[in-house]
Structure 1
């Protein structure tokens, strides 16, 4: 019976060990194994290990370093520097042995305490480094940018890469030094109290040790003051006029920081002499320096003096006193948002636009005016081309392809799978993960089309029929924008008619891609059953040894998992090649530490990023069939992406290495251009006097009360042998005015060399002020005032249908501005919009017709009529009447 007593303890120990192993396996090793297999399937195994090692080596190294610091000081304090018996104790053998015995007990006992204490303290000190290990990574692998900020003369890479980690290190070292000083002081006091036969005075070694620790505290405090200087570069006290330090900060607060350093050093030296030196123990120097330091420390918090400076020095002469500081803000913001190379073209406008009409009246120009909006097309695609209930279209993308003898702008969308519209009983495990595993193909329509006709298709239906010779070898879409669940392919199910025709089983076949994690054994099946918390994976007989698990199939989730340090554009777009479909995703590097640069508003990306520096540093290509991810550096001047490129040498490629058929479809990111124009609307006034006046501040042009967002347009600017460029257009008007100020054009075409090299740039067509150029809102008024158009709208907008106006297209046309307003009619029965008319406006004339040829011919007739009715001064009666009505 005595042998059975340990049984409960043995069972309890076994259960505890089993629980620990289960928790460790389930929450640590299982995720680690699956991640490793997943990265291996992407051929990124080396990157996976490198990233993992960076994280734990940096945080582990910091923990070990701080443990060493704590342990070293506790060890020497308890072993060497805290014992000072009188000479008579050392000269007497019995007393020396008794003293040594007590000292050994104290040293061995304290070692058992300060060793775990050092480890615990080091762990908590290192936690911030664990969370910010990538900040340290940028510091170690960063390099100079070659751009110098004007306030302190530092390279901007110091602020982007070094300054954040310096602030963290300073805070942690100051905390560590302060803790060690206090704890070592207590340790010396305990030695002095509990070890018998000690002298009354602290030993010299202890005093030297404490002085050294105080010296470190002083050093780290001074370093904090030095870093505090740089915080002035991020002050927003002068908003909304300008951002960054002004006269008050650099002429009052900055000298106070230097004065604080001097008075603190004086206080520390006098305090050290007072505490540790009997010969110089005089209170007056210490008290005086301490009082002065406290006054200097408190002055920045007293608003009385800055208010006086602002009231009597700055406000009476704002431009004169703040001019250099406003210039700092302008220059920094222009550089931080990559606006320094904008090309400005002054465009004289002619109200008599007949020559421009003659020049533009060509079929080639008409075929690329995007009268179909992607926001309107999405409903048409869903109703006409989903075909099966489990297919859907999430978004419509704009692009250009060489079709029928020249580059044509098209709209296209991927047909992705979503089984939520199937009957509930069909939304079972087998259908979700084994059968309905992927989307199929895409639809393509021209961006331009005559009104009053059915929608023209370049690629359509599940058989991917095309009248322009578009074809794709592998049209299956396993990776896309849908919220895909995991899929297991190929499998033993005989899947027929999912993608194509029920009458042609030969069109279906097993998955031939190379992506996914193999599950060749029962052990792997069991692991994935645990990982997904789904036992059906283990017990399913339809999973074969050739099956692979496809996970993270949403392209945003996929990219964020691999590179969480990149911020993704909100609009990934589909590209079609002869082989398969690809997704191209623009990625950004952001920072909120660019000196003196104005922070961006919170309407960019997800609105959660605080930043004042941005670069479109990478283009990411995701294979829609295989899930392969390729990263290409698109802005090598960015110091952040270069640091990551050095840290992860196997991840990024040069943009020139991108396959040619994909490189042809690169474009200027919509989100970036919107942000840049929003900033440039104010910061194009680059002289401090103009910047202060804000007399020429712009805003986005408005139509029907809503701002016109940048939109893509394929257009020939006549630069390179009539080559069309795929650009983004953005009209802007003066603040609180409807007249058009400029049209911004952003593209990637190198107009100087006329090559296909990727060279992003922005050109502004700025209108001279001698002629009024109608803005979209004014053209909208012209449309509403036109009796013929108004009557037709009234006629259509009844009887179960309603009129819907599309995006107003605004584009430069020679020395004129062309406005195109598509008009759709939407039936209440099916909700499918139909392009019914096109409104064209040049100058002050508006016509509505079914196609551009007819519209331009009518504009010519109006021109000849107005010329014949001219009153002799060159101004037509129509223009006179319009001005009188206004």
Structure 2
């Protein structure tokens, strides 16, 4: 080999090692460059520079401000050091050279000493702004919310956007001015003791300078006390009864904060007056005593304890009524609960209460529980060992002219399932690069028939309309490593490896040796650099997990834990629900929840589902659509990052048709509403009607489930909704059914407006909950006998979730029964379907047959016992007649 070639290879290897060391040591240059290429590949180059510039412009501006504050004060101080008629030459000969040099530096060393000192102090003071720059963005761009807080009547935007930054600025200004006051005083003191004794009178300019700094420090402290009044709106002393300030905070702590603010300013001014005149010293002492008293009382629990013991505790509702009302109003606004509609129902019983639409919508009742369907998909449609169905989702599609609820899952690549001998670099990054296609089955199946498939197998052809032009899945929910496509490998027998198609995919082009070097250094992977199967047309695909992808692009958005796929004729897309959060909404109850991609729970008391994110599973492109334009937080981000967010009207219709009410949002809101639906303070205090999610027979909460059906008195023929049964805390009987979805009761409501409707049952009538129905099923002798027989024949009986549906003025319960073989291969099989209404329990192999049995049983009971129950509707509730499902 020629010498120059050896040198070239050695140099390249050295560069790879060097870049790997730089990347590993945290030097951000390589990361910055790769991030820029990645953002550019997604057409977010402008957004990348905006984020970078905002961070350093905002943080740098704060640093510059504090640098000027420190430097100018030090410079002014240096001008006043020493009386003008005194020069260094007038010092006696016995003064040492060090003393002369020190005085010279203090008087004339502004650039050499004060500039670096000011810079160090400024960076130290401004350091918190480097991590809170996104809050500073909302401080600048956040609009008015148009809603006043219930205590001080400030617009809530003050708390969401201004108060956090004001708190930060106040603390930093207070620290800066106190530090300056002490530092400048120390400089004057040093100079004062170094000059000749006869010149020890402080110059007027020095006194004025110190006085101004003392006043500035006092004003900063007073501002802090005033801001602390707003922090009272976030106290949790009264939990678990209510959140926010109460009688003691309003009547005791709030006035004390005013007293502290007034006395600190008054005491400082009087102290300066006394320093100049020597008069009114008693006023300084008087102000200081009052200031100390206010501080001691503010941090004391004795007086508040007495007030709580003798005023609040004997009359809790009367004393705290207004403050509980504030908490209820604020919490309902913050979680958008004030528009929840309530339908009051007095339950009845009998066949005449079954809605006419019930039999028409039986084929959309999801008898296949997604928890068990995962094993079915994996065993029957995994096809290749490296494919995996990560999650089973629920959706609705128009099939043969009718909206039908389906279960579906994408066939993603999972490299950990490759044989150990195939776990090499080339396979992981160049050959097995993507998943392929999806499977779709109806939510309703019959136990006496084989599994129905609407889409299956690798060919991705379906007579039901599920034909996809590009079904390759390069981006999904698996933890995917980086991939390089197209490449020079001759790949065979792997679905969807048309290199001509892959060449147009978004990704970072590896179009030069320099890019190849930088990217290999970024991944700390020398094999990438030396691979001969990568050419100038290759692209590196990275951040292929869709949650990681969206979090990297927009870290200020919280993400729902259940992104779901949408199948279109062109390709497969992912829809990711994204939330804007704040923990600064005044007087609103704090929640804790762990969102997708987070390792720790987030604390917040304000949430909006403001963004729908669409990710192309084929090319990885990411689009953001504003779902809630009235949200001031997303308005602020939209103004700060123009072009990042799109109007919802621009979303393609096939994707818009699949939008749904997010499950995480539904859970969060219903947890809060379970307590905060009690608007009357006396009821709220008693917690007599607090709800909880229903429990199953194993005392586990019943998870909300999606259902496609028609609701009476709504404008839409079919609604895709989340349903959750609610029970009283500590009880098993049903209190209400919570339903979330795009439900329109009138033509003024947008088809895409998500809301919650509560079907609330009269407390005077017992309605069985899921665990009670489960016990009723256990008591049925015929069903128990059959279950025992199955358990003895090489199979195991598994009971699926109980689905709770309102039917007219009654409730219908549906529970699927599965059989799982005790052999090695465990594929659940739907065996029976149970329906229950009232005390009637029936079981058969299909919903139709079981429904016919139920109807026959109810007719017999109705003939023997005529119905007398009636429906009631309270003022302000929705229906003139009872809405019903299905």
TM-score, normalising length: structure 1: 0.91
1:563 partnered with 2:557: no
How many angstroms apart in 2 are the aligned matches of 1:103 and 1:852?
Answer: 96
Alignment-derived partner of residue 658 in structure 2: 665
Q: CA deviation at 1:394?
A: 0.6
2:478 corresponds to: 482
CA distance in 1, matches of 2:31, 2:207: 52
CA distance in structure 1 between the aligned counterparts of 2:217 and 2:805, rounded to whole angstroms: 64
Q: Counterpart in 2 of 1:3?
A: none
Q: Which residue of structure 2 aligns with residue 84 of structure 1?
A: 83
1:527 maps to which residue?
518
1:575 Cα deviation (Å)? Answer: 0.6
Residue equivalent to 2:489: 493
Match of 1:404 in 2: 400
Aligned partners of 2:511 and 2:537 also within 8 Å: yes
1:542-598 C-alpha deviation (Å, 9 max, x unpaired)? 111111111110101100100000010111001110000000000111111111111
Say if 2:351 and 2:862, in contact at 8 Å, map to a contact too. Answer: no
Q: CA deviation at 1:282?
A: 5.0
Deviation at 1:854, TM superposition (A): 1.4
CA distance in 2, matches of 1:821, 1:570: 26
The structure-2 alpha-carbon separation of the partners of 1:87 and 1:818, relative to structure 1 and needing over 3 Å to count, comes to closer
Q: Is contact 1:381-1:393 (8 Å) kept?
A: yes
Separation of aligned partners in 2, 1:106 and 1:720: 81
The answer as to whether partners of 1:474 and 1:625 remain within 8 angstroms in 2 is yes
Q: Is the aligned partner of 1:462 residue 2:455? A: no
Q: The residue matched to 1:136 in structure 2 has which SS?
A: helix
**What is the match of residue 538 of structure 2?**
547
Higher relative contact order (CA 8 A, sep 6+): 2
Q: Alignment partner for residue 841 of structure 1, among 836, 841, 849? A: 836
CA distance in 2, matches of 1:384, 1:164: 54
Deviations 1:178-213 (A, max 9, x none): 111111112222333334587221000000000000
603-612 or 642-651, larger mean C-alpha shift: 603-612
Kept in 1, the 8 Å contact 2:105–2:113? The answer is no
**Aligned-partner SS, 1:310:** helix
Alignment of structure 1 residues 376-391 onto 2, 5 Å:
376-391=372-387
How many Å separate the matches in 2 of 1:220 and 1:40?
44
Contact 2:594-2:602 at 8 Å conserved across structures: no
Give 2:338's aligned residue: 340
Partner of 1:193: 193
Partner of 1:824, secondary structure, is strand
1:213-238, CA deviations, whole angstroms, 9 ceiling, x for partnerless residues?
00100110000000010111111111
1:442 and 1:233 map into 2 onto residues whose CA distance is: 50
Decide whether the 8 Å contact of 1:389 with 1:419 is kept in 2.
no
1:256, CA displacement in angstroms? Answer: 1.1
1:856 Cα deviation after fit: 1.8
Question: Secondary structure of 1:248's partner?
Answer: helix
Q: Using the alignment, how far apart are the partners of 2:236 and 2:734 within structure 1? A: 32
> In structure 2, what is the Cα distance between the partners aligned to 1:738 and 1:640?
40
1:757-796 CA-partner distances (Å, limit 9, x unpaired): 3111111111123432221112112101111111111111
C-alpha spacing 1:39/1:711, structure 2 compared with 1 (3 Å): same
Q: Judge conservation of contact 1:85–1:198 (CA < 8 Å) in 2.
A: no
Asked if structure 2 preserves the Cα contact closer than 8 Å seen for 1:319 and 1:689, the reply is yes
**Size of the alignment, in residue pairs?**
844
Structure 1 distance, partners of 2:681, 2:774, is: 36
Of 300, 303, 320, the match for 1:302: 300
Report the 3-state secondary structure (helix = DSSP H, G, I; strand = E; otherwise coil) of the residue aligned with 2:534. Answer: coil
Structure 2 counterpart of 1:209 = 209
Q: 1:604 to 1:647 in 2, by over 3 A?
A: closer
SS of 1:610's partner is strand
In structure 1, C-alpha distance between the alignment counterparts of 2:863 and 2:721, rounded to whole Å? 39
1:105-124, aligned counterparts within 5 Å? 106-109=106-109, 111-124=111-124
SS at match of 1:616: strand
Is there any run of 5+ residues in structure 1 with no aligned partner, and where?
1-14, 93-97, 876-886
What residue number does 1:810 align with? 804
Change (3 A) 1:122 1:88: closer
Per the alignment, residue 572 of structure 1 pairs with: 563
1:863 aligns with 2:830: no
Deviation per residue, 1:137-186 (Å, 9 max, x gap): 11000111000012111111111111000000000000000111111112
The offset of 1:122, in angstroms, is 0.8
Q: Indicate whether 1:725 and 2:719 are aligned.
A: yes
Q: Which residue of 1 aligns with 2:268?
A: 268
Distance in 1, matches of 2:362 and 2:493, equals: 40
Separation (CA, whole Å) in 2 of partners of 1:831 and 1:753: 50
Match of 2:880 in 1: none
Paired residue secondary structure (1:75): helix
Shift of 1:860: 2.5
TM-score (norm 2): 0.91
Pairing of 1:591-606 with structure 2 (within 5 A): 591-602=582-593
Long gaps (5+) in structure 2: 1-13, 92-96, 870-886
Instruction: Tell me the residue number matched to 1:169.
Output: 169
Whole-Å separation in 2 of the counterparts to 1:873 and 1:509 = 70
8 Å Cα contact 1:802/1:826 also seen in 2: yes
More displaced, 558-567 or 195-204?
Answer: 195-204
Contact 2:20 2:521 in 1 (8 A): no
Q: Find the partner of 1:588 among 556, 579, 587.
A: 579
Superimposed CA distance per residue, residues 817-876 of structure 1 (whole angstroms, 9 cap, x where no aligned partner): 111000000011211100100000122211001112211221222123324555x8989x
- The verdict on how the C-alpha distance between 1:221 and 1:135 changes in structure 2, with shifts beyond 3 A counting, is same
Decide whether the 8 Å contact of 1:803 with 1:826 is kept in 2: yes
The match for 2:613 is 620
Q: Give me the whole-angstrom Cα distance separating, in 2, the residues matched to 1:167 and 1:26.
A: 32
The residue matched to 1:862 in structure 2 has which SS? helix
Alignment of 1:408-447 (within 5 A): 408-447=404-443
Q: How far apart, in 1, do the equivalents of 2:394 and 2:766 lie?
A: 32
Shift of the 106–730 alpha-carbon distance from structure 1 to 2, 3 Å rule, reads: closer
Structure 2 partner of 1:136: 136
C-alpha distance 457-87 of structure 1, shift in aligned 2 (>3 A):
closer
Equivalent position of 1:286 in the other structure: 284
Tell me: CA distance 1:90–1:533, structure 2 relative to 1, closer, same or farther (3 Å). closer
Question: Is it true that 1:796 corresponds to 2:777 in the alignment?
Answer: no
Where does residue 693 of structure 1 map in the other structure?
A: 686
Aligned counterparts, 1:727-806, within 5 A: 727-753=721-747, 757-806=751-800
Structure 1 residues 692 and 603: CA distance shift in structure 2, 3 A: farther
Q: CA deviation at 1:269?
A: 2.0
Q: CA 1:800–1:688 in 2, change beyond 3 Å: closer, same or farther?
A: same
Indicate how the Cα distance of structure 1 residues 242 and 722 shifts in structure 2: closer, same or farther if over 3 A, else same. Answer: closer
Secondary structure at 1:367's aligned position in 2? Answer: helix
State the distance in 1 between where 2:26 and 2:702 align: 51
Residue 237 of structure 1 pairs with residue 231 of structure 2: no
**Deviation per residue, 1:63-86 (Å, 9 max, x gap):** 11111111101111112x233256
Secondary structure at the residue paired with 1:702? coil
1:262 Cα deviation from its structure 2 partner: 2.3
CA-CA distance at 1:261 after TM superposition: 1.9
Going from structure 1 to structure 2, the CA distance change for 1:271 and 1:464 (only over 3 Å counts) comes to same
Offset at residue 331 of structure 1 (A): 0.4
Shift of 1:722: 6.4
Task: Measure how far apart 1:314 and its partner are.
Answer: 1.1
Cα separation, 2, equivalents of 1:462 and 1:228: 63
Provide the C-alpha distance between the structure 1 equivalents of 2:803 and 2:745, rounded to a whole number of angstroms: 23
2:69 matched residue in structure 1: 69
Matches of 2:484 and 2:353, distance apart in 1 = 63
Mean CA deviation greater in 853-862 or 623-632: 853-862
SS of aligned partner of 2:630: coil
Q: Distance in 1 between matches of 2:434 and 2:247?
A: 62
Q: How does 1:147-166 map to 2 (within 5 A)?
A: 147-166=147-166
8 Å contact from structure 2 (residues 715, 745) kept in 1: no
**C-alpha contact (below 8 Å) 1:495/1:508 kept by paired residues:** no
Q: State the distance in 2 between where 1:632 and 1:41 align.
A: 20
Distance 1:47 1:105, change over 3 A: closer
Task: Output the CA distance in 2 between the equivalents of 1:28 and 1:678.
Answer: 43
